Amino acid sequence: MKPALRENDPAAPAGWQAFRQGPALAEAISRQLTPWWQQIFGYYLLKVGNLSCQLETNSARLRRQITVGAEVSAPQIIADADALPIAAASVDAILLSHCLEFQVDPHHVIREAHRVLIGDGYLLLTGFNPYSMLGICRHFPWLTPDLPRQGHFFSAARIKDWLHLIGFEVLSEERFFVVRC
Per-residue confidence (pLDDT) for residue 137, from 0 to 100: 75
Per-residue confidence (pLDDT) for residue 12, from 0 to 100: 84
Per-residue confidence (pLDDT) for residue 51, from 0 to 100: 95
Per-residue confidence (pLDDT) for residue 150, from 0 to 100: 77
Q: 58: closest CA among 37, 76, 29, 35? A: 37
CA angle 134, 112, 131 (to 5 degrees): 15
Give 53-93 pLDDT, tens digit per residue: 999 999 999 999 999 998 777 789 999 999 999 999 999 99
Residues (pLDDT < 50) of the chain are none
Per-residue confidence (pLDDT) for residue 178, from 0 to 100: 76
Per-residue confidence (pLDDT) for residue 144, from 0 to 100: 61
Strand bridging mode 61-69 / 77-78: parallel
